[in-house]
């Protein structure tokens, strides 16, 4: 089950965290993997870093693994490639997709993982520029990538698009107006693409992560992290691999009759806890 041999997967935001875990899991299932990110070890866009406090911190501490991940995938016997790609730039996204098609022959799986979540402020203190940035990256970025791969998936009459939503999009998030709004928008985009893609055997589903112990989460406020953990039924955060396993399933042939869903991988944080 879940044999992805012969499939090519493209992952955005794949240099760390959930994206890196997804890349490794898809490769272990047999897929060739293309990792894209605005942050790479050897070719960092300093202008892009200026817009991301999280990116600045992670890059400074060496927590960026796009090229390393590609090397690990190669050692598994899979093909891998890395591209620096800004998901907000539709023309750049289209160029990268065309390059991947020329190099690998096809794209079968798209994982829209790239997102920003460092804009935390109550509504009266939300920064207008960061609101617009989050819309461009978290929502328009997913739209740009889906639109770029769509003609190829439509022509081959097979495709899997997996969008990363969040419980912030289904439950709301205190001080997260921009992030929550974009993740709610991702769910709407998912359902629309599911409807449009069904006749071409293209499925589109959203994964709804809860509290996941990524590098960025571990750098958060410890007291706030404990409060969030206490909201989960399991009383612990999930691991990136928990999300990656769901990605592999939704990318597989076994999930061919599943489309337009919101799959909670959240440790029960959305349940009534007392």
Catalytic residue numbers read 179
Distance, in Å, from the CA atom of 151 to the CA atom of 197, rounded to the nearest integer, reads: 11
Maximal C-alpha separation, the chain: 54
The answer to whether 249 and 187 are in contact (CB under 8 A) is no
Local structure of 263: helix, strand or coil: strand
Distance, in Å, from the CA atom of 168 to the CA atom of 148, rounded to the nearest integer, reads: 27
What contacts 77, CB < 8 A, 6 or more positions away? none
Closest CA to 199 of 252, 149, 232, 158: 158
Helices (H), 1-140: 17-28, 46-50, 53-60, 66-75, 90-104, 128-134
- Say how many residues make up the chain: 274
What number of H helices and E strands is found in the chain?
12, 7
What contacts 215, CB < 8 A, 6 or more positions away? 16, 17, 58, 63
Quick one: CA dihedral 206, 255, 259, 92, positive or negative?
positive
Distance, in Å, from the CA atom of 46 to the CA atom of 233, rounded to the nearest integer, reads: 41
């Amino acid at each position: 089950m879940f044999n992805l041999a012969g499939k090519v997967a493209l992952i955005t935001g794949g240099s760390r965290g959930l994206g890196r875990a997804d890349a490794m899991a898809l490769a272990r299932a047999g897929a060739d993997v293309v990792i894209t990110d605005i942050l790479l070890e050897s070719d960092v866009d300093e202008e892009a870093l200026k817009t991301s406090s999280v990116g600045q911190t992670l890059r400074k501490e060496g927590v960026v693994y796009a090229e390393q991940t590609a090397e690990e995938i190669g050692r598994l016997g899979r093909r891998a490639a890395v591209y620096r790609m800004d998901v907000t730039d539709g023309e750049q996204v289209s160029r990268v997709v065309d390059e991947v098609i020329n190099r690998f022959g096809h794209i079968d799986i798209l994982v829209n993982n790239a997102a920003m979540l460092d804009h935390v402020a109550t509504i009266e203190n939300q920064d207008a520029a960061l609101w617009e940035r989050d819309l461009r990256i978290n929502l328009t970025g997913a739209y740009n990538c889906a639109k770029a791969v769509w003609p190829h998936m439509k022509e081959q009459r097979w495709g899997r698009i997996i969008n990363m939503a969040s419980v912030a999009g289904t439950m709301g998030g205190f001080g997260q107006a921009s992030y929550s709004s974009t993740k709610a928008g991702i769910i709407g985009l998912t359902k629309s693409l599911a409807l449009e893609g069904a006749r071409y055997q293209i499925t589109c589903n959203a994964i709804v992560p809860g509290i996941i112990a990524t590098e960025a989460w571990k750098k958060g406020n410890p007291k706030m992290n404990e409060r969030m953990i206490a909201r989960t039924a399991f009383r612990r955060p999930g691991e990136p691999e928990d999300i990656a396993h769901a990605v592999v399933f939704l990318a597989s042939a076994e999930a061919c009759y599943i489309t337009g869903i919101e799959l909670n991988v959240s440790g029960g944080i959305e349940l009534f806890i007392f």
